[in-house]
Amino acid sequence: MPPAVVLVTGVSRWLGGALAAELARDRFIERVIGVDTVPPSPEVLRRLGRTEFVRADIRNPLIGKVIATASVDTVVHMNISSTPAGSGGRGPMKELNVIGTMQLLAACQRAPSVRRFVLKSTSAVYGASSRDPAVFTEAMQARRVPSGGFAKDSLDIEGYVRSFARRRPDVGVAALRFTNFIGPRIDSLLTHFLRMPLVPTALGYDARVQLLHEDDALAVLAQATTGDFSGTVNVGGEGTLLLSQVIRRLGRLQVPLPSPTLGSVGRLTRRFGFVDYSPEQMRFLNFGRVVDTTVLRDEFGYTPLYTTAEALADYASTVPPVVPPDLVGSVTSRAQAVVDRVGATVASVGQRLRPVPAAPDLRAVRDA
Amino acid sequence: MPEARVIPLRPEDDEPRVPRPPSPSWEEQVTGGLEFLRRRLTGDYETDEFGFDPDLTDHVLLPLLRPLFSRWFRVETHGVENVPGSGGGLVVANHSGTLPVDALMTTVALHDDHPEQRRLRLLGADLVFEMPFVGTVSRKMGTTLACNEDAERLLTGGELVGVFPEGFKGIGKPFRERYTLQRFGRGGFVTAALRTGAPIIPCAIVGAEETYPMLGNAKTIARLLGLPYFPITPTFPVLGPLGLVPLPSKWLIAFGEPIETASFGPAAAEDPMLVFNLTDQVRETIQQSIYQLLLQRKSVFG
């Protein structure tokens, strides 16, 4: 049975807005209600279609009234901030993430109409450390529990959602653990990070990166909202790349810095509002993280259209390279031509200089 | 009159000489190098989920190890026919020599001396991946963390996995205990093989013990640096970085007959007694094989 009234939190961001717009196009869904603390940009607003926008803070009990009066049956929780800058510092970020989720869940528990809850979570809950297995399945837990920031918030949020699922067994709960998003339009940590012409990385480390294209992210969220999957699922593209490889494919320049200095570089770039990365994201840059997507394909029933490499290629088309691959190609082919010419010259000179070899196995024997 | 018989003039010429493939000319080498450089600069190569980079391994890392393999240690490989040409397999070997040079040499041996050029995917301790550079290069060479999840994933993927169950106990043992096998961990490697039905190939390595004979262990320094041991060898730390040059011992690597595990079924991994017995069987086989190789070897540096 398709949902009748859907509530989407965090609708002012690209992914939330895109999901609301996608759901609004579905004729079977009666109402789509978008909630966010800030009004959507005119561009997002135009796409939202018949979505009703409610400017509300999910930290506020007001959200309960919205759910009750509209008799919402499906809640998609996407209002989770991954960077302190987006929400005005670490304090407000944590408040929005954790307290906001608690408020939302409290409201959902009271509302008998709610029968489905979709959480946009992250694979950051697996942490990132040298003791990690190469590939995480849904059943595994972080080897070194993330101690702060977005990953810690996400762990807490997943915990609260699990206890909500226990208290309301009639509600189908789906937790989607997304890998890093990438794509031409989405605004994610990595898209910002990789737009810099010089990309700082941790000296002596190379992370394994698994990416998810924005279109796939959207399709998975839409399917989770209208479908009936409940449980936890990893969502990521097929295949992995190394961070150094990603930087090279984008034609950026890699600047390896010793790990301790990376923190201050991060603070510096944050101050200029350039890129914002925190200690746990630094650890991600050291070790990376890969998740197993068998459950996504077999049980959830979705196969991403883009592999990690294809998603990166699609993003690369929107980022002008600093070192164009064509240039590298033409330089190497020119060097190649020079080598060929030198080789030919050397060979011809060598031929002229070399004495004519004696015919083998024949020895001049003087007649008696 | 007895029947006429052909007596070969030079008996050693009896085997038909296989002409060596002509070594590439310098132009071809430069061309290959340029193409490699282009691939590296544009990121146009494949890596897998474990961080393995076959392009870098084949063109940089293995060529760097080859002189050490053939000239320095003059490694002789025996019994490669015991290593399956395709499909999963677990190579279990003894560990020695202060630095894990034996792991690298086994990788080269299986790539260069096996007809199918098999890639050995090593399992390393978490200390390896904690260290900058070392961890990254190890991953690019195909090493991953020694944990059951990774081992089983590689084995189900049909890879040849290399494991040294003695771990630091084996590699960091004093020189006087050379060629005596230490305890074989907790038998995790046997459970991994049982769950995936992969054969266990016992492998004995002789020669690694003499590369850096560990005379003493500076435990205080080791504790300060967070290392499992800090070796004192005849050349290290006395000669400083020169002490890192391994002694040119003669190496023998022998792969024994595979121990089949598929007939036990995956449920057998839950039977600790069977796991212990198999672990002991593998350990005994390797120890016997080491003694045989030691008898075969003429001298330590011969």
Q: What is the pLDDT of residue A307?
A: 97
What ipTM was assigned to the predicted interfaces of this complex?
Answer: 0.87
What region does A49 belong to: left with phi over 0, alpha with psi -120 to 50, or beta? left
CB A13 within 8 A of CB A78: yes
Query: Cβ contact (<8 Å) for B43 and A132?
Result: no
Q: Looking at CA atoms only, how far is residue B144 from chain A in angstroms?
A: 7
Q: What is the pLDDT of residue A328?
A: 84
The answer on pLDDT for B18 being more than 70 is no
Q: What is the pLDDT of residue A91?
A: 83
Tell which CATH architecture fits domain B79-296: 3-Layer(aba) Sandwich (3.40)
Q: What is the pLDDT of residue A325?
A: 81
The answer on pLDDT for B15 being more than 60 is no
How far apart, in whole angstroms, are the C-alpha atoms of residue A23 and residue A29? 7
The answer on pLDDT for B11 being more than 60 is no
Q: Where are the alpha helices (DSSP H) in chain B?
A: 26-42, 54-56, 62-67, 101-113, 126-130, 134-140, 148-156, 168-171, 188-196, 219-225, 272-296
Search chain B and give the residue with CA nearest A337: B31
Interface test with A, best of B38, B42, B52 (most A CBs within 10 A): B42
Q: How confident is the model at residue B20 (pLDDT cuts 50, 70, 90)?
A: low
Q: What is the pLDDT of residue A362?
A: 55
Q: What is the pLDDT of residue A191?
A: 87
The answer on pLDDT for B21 being more than 80 is no
- B263 touches A: beta carbon within 8 Å: no
Q: Which of B46, B195, B55, B123 is nearest to A134 (CA)?
A: B123
Q: What is the pLDDT of residue A364?
A: 56
Per-residue model confidence as pLDDT tens digits over B42-80: 999 999 999 999 999 999 999 999 999 999 999 999 999
What pTM does this model have?
A: 0.88
Q: Which residue's structure tokens are 């489905």?
A: A116
Q: What is the pLDDT of residue A305?
A: 97
How many beta carbons lie within 10 A of that of residue A259, not counting itself? 17
Report, as ranges of residue numbers, the positions in chain A whose pLDDT lies below 70.
Answer: 1, 85-86, 269-280, 355-368
- B135 touches A: beta carbon within 8 Å: yes
CB B165 within 8 A of CB B171: no
Residues of B in contact with A251 (CB under 8 A): 42
Query: Cβ contact (<8 Å) for A204 and B145?
Result: no
Mean pLDDT of B241-267: 94
Q: What is the pLDDT of residue A202?
A: 87
Q: How confident is the model at residue B2 (pLDDT cuts 50, 70, 90)?
A: low
Residues of B in contact with A287 (CB under 8 A): 129
Strand partners, A234: A177
Mean pLDDT of B82-107: 95
CB A143 within 8 A of CB A129: yes
- Higher pLDDT: A338 or B21? It is A338
Q: What is the pLDDT of residue A174?
A: 97
Q: What is the pLDDT of residue A360?
A: 57
Q: What is the pLDDT of residue B39?
A: 92
